[in-house]
């Protein structure tokens, strides 16, 4: 009788310990493995295409002084067609695009720089080591868009500058304001 009770208590304790494991939150790596195992393939990022006759009524210059996540007339900076298209054209790496536009990124107010507006951001707690700036022409001209990416771990004291025509390395980090 005592032995049966001890066995029953052992089963109950083991079961309760197992319940705790059922309610733990999986980490991102486990989630990624689960998605990969399921055969899910995320869709390819496509450039936005406005509906015929639909144009942005608000000029890009209206974003100067605001953060990229601040909506102007209901639209955030990175959600603008010309900005999203520039980002897709100039940053082929989906991971970097997500880092730039994600909630974890540290972002600065958008600033005017000549005939462009620029959004600067950086990795949280590592702004000197990893930062970026996307410059988009106020008139939406895709040929004038530029992207700067600085990663000190792989680029040392240089940055990768990309336009539709070329990609090249330049000394220094990415511009953070009008004066830089």
Tens of pLDDT, residue by residue over 145-178, are: 999 999 999 999 999 999 999 999 999 999 988 6
Q: In this predicted structure, what is the pLDDT of residue 33?
A: 64
Task: Identify whether residues 133 and 164 lie together within a single domain.
Answer: yes
Which residue reads 């005017």 in tokens?
112
Domain-embedded: residue 179: no
User: In this structure, are 111 and 22 located in the same domain?
Assistant: no
Decide if 52 is inside a domain: no
Residues 71 and 109 in one domain: yes
Kindly state whether residue 44 falls inside one of the protein's structural domains.
Answer: no
Q: Rounded to an integer, what is the distance from CA 161 to the centroid of its chain?
A: 18
Q: Are residues 34 and 65 in the same domain?
A: no
Cα distance between residue 13 and residue 2, in whole Å: 16
Count CB neighbours of 160 within 10 A: 18
CA separation for the pair 172, 170 (Å, rounded)? 7
| Claim to verify: residue 114 and residue 28 sit in the same structural domain | no
Q: How many CA atoms lie within 13 A of 47 on its CB side?
A: 13
Q: Same domain for 26 and 64?
A: no
HEC string of 60-108 equals HHHHCCCCCCCCECCECHHHCHHHHHHHHHHCCCHHHHHHHHCCCCEEC
147 & 102 share domain: yes
Residue 90 has pLDDT above 90, yes or no: yes
Domain range spanning residue 18? 2-38
- Position 140 scores a pLDDT of 87
Query: pLDDT, tens digit, for every residue of 44-71?
Result: 665 556 556 666 678 999 999 999 999 9
* Number of domains forming the structure of the chain: 2
What are 146's two structure tokens? 């530029």
* Domain CATH code at residue 138: 3.40.1420
pLDDT number for residue 21: 47
For 4-32, the pLDDT digits (tens) are 554 455 555 555 555 444 445 556 666 66
Whose structure tokens read 């990893």?
130
Domain presence at residue 46: no
Q: Distance between the two ends of the chain, CA-based, in angstroms?
A: 82
Please report whether residue 53 resides in a domain. no
Q: Are residues 92 and 156 in the same domain?
A: yes
Same domain, residue pair 78 and 124: yes
Q: Quickly tell me which residue has 């486990």 as its tokens.
A: 30
135 and 84 both lie in a single domain: yes
Judged by DSSP in three states, 138 sits in: coil
Per the prediction, the chain carries an average pLDDT of 82
Average pLDDT over residues 87-116: 94
């Amino acid at each position: 009788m005592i032995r049966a009770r001890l066995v029953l208590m052992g089963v109950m304790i083991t079961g309760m310990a197992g319940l705790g494991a059922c309610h733990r939150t999986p980490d991102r790596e486990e989630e990624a493995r689960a998605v990969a195992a399921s055969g899910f393939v995320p869709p390819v990022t496509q450039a936005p295409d406005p509906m015929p006759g639909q144009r942005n009524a608000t000029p890009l210059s209206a974003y100067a002084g605001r953060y990229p996540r601040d909506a102007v007339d209901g639209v955030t900076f990175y959600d603008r067609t010309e900005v999203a298209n520039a980002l897709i054209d100039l940053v082929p790496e989906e991971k970097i695009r997500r880092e730039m536009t994600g909630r974890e990124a540290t972002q600065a107010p958008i600033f005017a720089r000549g005939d462009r507006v620029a959004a600067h951001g950086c990795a949280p707690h590592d702004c000197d080591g990893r930062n970026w700036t996307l410059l988009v022409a106020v008139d939406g001209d895709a040929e004038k868009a530029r992207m700067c990416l600085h990663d000190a771990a792989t680029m040392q004291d240089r940055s990768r500058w990309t336009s539709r025509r070329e990609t090249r390395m330049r000394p220094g980090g990415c511009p953070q304001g009008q004066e830089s």
